[in-house]
């Protein structure tokens, strides 16, 4: 059967585990009574009782307990038979086997179903830990968090940027998650890394001129630092388009860390400081010119003093020095004539 043709089938008529457990226990007790009875009256009953004691434990293998927000994908001799998805006590064919290729893979900060025996970590890459040990075959249906390691990516201007993204996700189709990809957790982690690189390279870290970040052919003011929500949404959509075939739904994606790479951080900080200083000086000059104009108009309108062009220039120069200087002005008292 082609993996792409497998659709999830929920087994909701097998929630009879308690009844079946009681039945098999009673049959075990009955076999002991049959052995005792057969020893006294019919030896064939002894044989039948002993045979049941030898094989009577097999039906107990079909008892399955499913907790809230858990699922168990079952196969019988290699064929998919269905998924136990609702919380409860089930009895299924004792030869059915639970399948979960990602049972030994735990994602960073995820709410994976814990194994009874704590496994040992043998390898770790990004936010994915591959572990050995008896992993649970159950799939978690909870909303989980993938917090991959920070990546170094070049933005649209070629500047190296370090970025970290947290992805909230959950399994919505257990059959696709188990049978479509080899390991749905590693697949999600890899697609998340690729999506971050694909989206980040479209944006500058800070606002830049003549940069088209939306693909509409028009320059815009999008940036990683100023358009965080937009960037995160595009990353989420990019991941979702890749993992939908694996039965995974991406709930949200958030940028958790964003900074220039260490090798250029100091230079970019100086650039930002210089840009801020220029903007501040420009504001100061604009304000000073307005104040000088207002002072000259006030003096002329009130008839306080009549200045020629040369004296006006000197006054403008002095006022600009006082208003634009970064130190307090030192007054000079003139005891002689103005001229």
In sequence order, what DSSP letters do the residues of 149-167 get, joined into one string?
A: PPEEEE-TTS-EEEEEEEE
Give the pLDDT confidence of 131-172 residue by residue, as tens digits: 433 447 899 999 998 887 788 888 888 888 889 999 999 999
Contact 46, 118 (CB under 8 A): no
Confidence check: pLDDT of 329 > 70: no
How much is the average pLDDT of 115-119? 43
Residue 122 phi/psi, 5-degree rounding, is: -110, -20
User: What pLDDT shows up at residue 283?
Assistant: 80
**Where in the chain is CATH 3.30.479.30?**
141-260
Q: Which residue has the higher pLDDT, 42 or 94?
A: 94
Is 0.75 topped by the overall pTM? no
Give the pLDDT confidence of 282-312 residue by residue, as tens digits: 787 777 777 777 777 776 776 666 666 776 6
CA distances from 61 to 25, 89, 135 (A): 13, 13, 18
Confidence of residue 119 (pLDDT cuts 50, 70, 90): very low
Residues 114 and 106: their CA atoms lie apart, in Å, by: 9
Residues 101 and 186: their CA atoms lie apart, in Å, by: 10
144 Cβ contact list (under 8 Å, min separation 6): 107, 109, 110, 111, 112, 168, 169, 170
Q: Which residue has the higher pLDDT, 191 or 150?
A: 191
CA 181 to chain centre: 20
- The matching CATH number, chosen from 3.40.50.740, 3.30.479.30, 3.40.190.170, 3.40.640.10, for 141-260 is 3.30.479.30
How much is the average pLDDT of 109-119? 46
Q: Which residue has the higher pLDDT, 2 or 206?
A: 206
* Beta-ladder partners of 78: none
Residue 55: count other Cβ atoms within 10 Å of its Cβ: 8
Confidence of residue 251 (pLDDT cuts 50, 70, 90): very high
Confidence check: pLDDT of 263 > 70: yes
Confidence of residue 221 (pLDDT cuts 50, 70, 90): confident
């Amino acid at each position: 059967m082609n993996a792409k043709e497998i659709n999830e089938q929920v087994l909701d008529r097998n929630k009879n585990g308690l009844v079946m457990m009681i039945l098999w226990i009673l049959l075990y007790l009955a076999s002991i009574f049959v052995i005792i009875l057969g020893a006294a009256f019919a030896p064939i009953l002894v044989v039948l009782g002993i045979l049941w004691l030898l094989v009577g434990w097999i039906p107990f293998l079909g008892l399955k307990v499913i907790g809230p927000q858990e699922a168990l994908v079952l196969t019988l001799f290699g064929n998919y038979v269905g998924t136990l998805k609702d919380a409860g006590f089930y009895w299924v064919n004792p030869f059915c086997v639970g399948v979960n290729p990602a049972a030994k893979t735990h994602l960073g900060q995820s709410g994976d179903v814990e194994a009874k025996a704590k496994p040992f970590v043998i390898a770790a890459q990004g936010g994915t830990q591959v572990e050995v040990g008896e992993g649970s075959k159950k799939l978690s249906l909870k909303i989980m968090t993938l917090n991959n390691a920070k990546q170094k990516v070049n933005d649209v201007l070629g500047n190296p940027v370090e970025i970290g993204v947290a992805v909230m996700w959950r399994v919505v189709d257990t059959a696709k998650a188990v049978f479509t990809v080899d390991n749905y957790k590693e697949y999600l982690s890899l697609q998340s890394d690729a999506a971050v690189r694909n989206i980040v390279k479209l944006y500058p870290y800070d606002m830049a001129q003549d940069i088209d970040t939306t693909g509409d052919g028009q320059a815009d003011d999008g940036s990683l630092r100023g358009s965080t929500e937009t960037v995160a949404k595009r990353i989420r959509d990019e991941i979702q388009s890749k993992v939908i075939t694996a039965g995974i739904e991406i709930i949200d994606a958030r940028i958790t860390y964003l900074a220039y790479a260490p090798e250029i951080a100091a230079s970019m900080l100086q650039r930002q400081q210089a840009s801020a200083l220029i903007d501040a000086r420009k504001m100061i000059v604009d304000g000073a010119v307005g104040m000088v104009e207002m002072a000259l108009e006030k003096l002329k309108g009130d008839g306080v003093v009549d200045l020629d062009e040369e004296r006006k220039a000197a006054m403008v120069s002095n006022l600009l020095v006082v208003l634009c200087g970064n130190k307090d002005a030192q007054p000079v008292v003139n005891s002689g004539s103005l001229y």
